[in-house]
Amino acid sequence: MRFARALAILPFLCACDGPQSALRAAGREAERVATLWWWLAGGAVLIWVTVVALLLFAFHKREERPGRGPLLILGGGVVMPTLVLTIVLVAGLRMLPATTARASDADLRIDVSGEEWWWRVRYIDADGQAVETANEIRLPADRRAGFTLTSPDVIHSLWIPSLGGKRDLVPGRVNQLVLEPTRTGTYRGACAEYCGTSHAHMLLDVIVMEPAEFDAWLDVQREPAPAPASDVERRGRELFLASGCGACHTVRGTPAAGGVGPDLTHFGARPSLGAGTLPNNAATLTRWIEDPSQFKPEARMPAFGMLPDADVRAIAAYLSGLR
């Protein structure tokens, strides 16, 4: 009974569920990975049970029967492992071609650049025009998204476990990854290669939408930033431009055209702030602007704590309004 209870809580101990689970597949590639995983797990349990049963049998057996030892060692120690590893190898090799699909064959092209420590995301139109956003990838369900992956600084690795396997972003190289989401919902991606102090703060909101909804969202992203809607937001916009924020950030439709940090044109509509570090609202943004490194060690963005509180709040109000 106790054993059964212990077994029942096992699934809760391992992260089998949630927005970042490879076993809760929401895409074709993740389904393949999950299927292989379940076969491997089942096989491992079977082998473990067999070995333990043999062990118990050997403990309880008193008399010796000469002549069987070498046969058992040859069968269990040579033939079995060779057979099992060959099956696993063939199963793995058969999955390889599917992981080398070309981004150019997909329905949608997205360039992703891993930066220290955030994600630059660019949607490329059929005519080559790019729409840039950051730390959020929205995808249409049942369409193949082709990613081209690069990095300007160190090696990162893009991993959205619910949608598929991971792939590295290597400076000086262009890697490709094709993912086909099958289920709408909100998932989470992460950087899966240690890339410096704030590697753990390099997350990604991944939202799979119905295709029509996605097209409407992308149309909004193409638009320049909305105009400030209140006096506070108008003041925030002035302060944003006067405080030098535009040296690093772009807000399309304003003179701010920096390319070092994330594009903020529709920043207010993103679920999180600082690449998944904080929930995105005016209060968290105010504290972020005052000192980003308190949330994200060694963040490249300088602290703006020298500005008066009211000014920082106005800038936060302006940016939160950029939807």
199 near ligand CUA, judged by CB under 6 A: yes
The dihedrals phi and psi of 44, each to the nearest 5 degrees, come to: -65, -40
Least spacing, CB of residue 72 vs ligand CUA, in Å: 47
159 near ligand CUA, judged by CB under 6 A: no
With tokens 């998204």, the residue in question is: 145
| Residue span 95-134 as binding mask against ligand CUA, x where in contact by CB under 6 A, dash where not | -------------------x--x-----------------
* Beta carbon nearer to ligand CUA, 28 or 199: 199
191 near ligand CUA, judged by CB under 6 A: yes
202 phi-psi bin (left φ>0, alpha ψ -120 to 50, beta other): beta
Least spacing, CB of residue 110 vs ligand CUA, in Å: 17
Least spacing, CB of residue 271 vs ligand CUA, in Å: 19
- Contact stretch for ligand CUA (CB under 6 A) within 20-28, 102-110, 191-199, 247-255: 191-199
Helices 309-320 and 231-242: angle between axes, nearest 10 degrees: 110
- Structure tokens given for 197: 């102090």
Q: Hey, is 9 helix, strand or coil?
A: helix
Which DSSP string corresponds to 131-156? EEEESEEEEETTSPEEEEEE-SSS-E
Least spacing, CB of residue 166 vs ligand CUA, in Å: 11
Q: Hey, is 260 helix, strand or coil?
A: coil
- Contact stretch for ligand CUA (CB under 6 A) within 69-77, 137-145, 189-197, 308-316: 189-197
Q: Report how far residue 224's alpha carbon sits from residue 266's, in angstroms, rounded to the nearest whole number.
A: 8
Burial 95-120 (b: 16+ CB within 10 A, else e): eeeeeebebeebebbbbbbbbbbbbb
- Contact stretch for ligand CUA (CB under 6 A) within 35-43, 53-61, 186-194, 265-273: 186-194
193 near ligand CUA, judged by CB under 6 A: yes
* Beta carbon nearer to ligand CUA, 199 or 300: 199
195 near ligand CUA, judged by CB under 6 A: yes
Residue ranges in contact with ligand CUA by CB under 6 A: 114, 117, 156, 191, 193-195, 199, 202
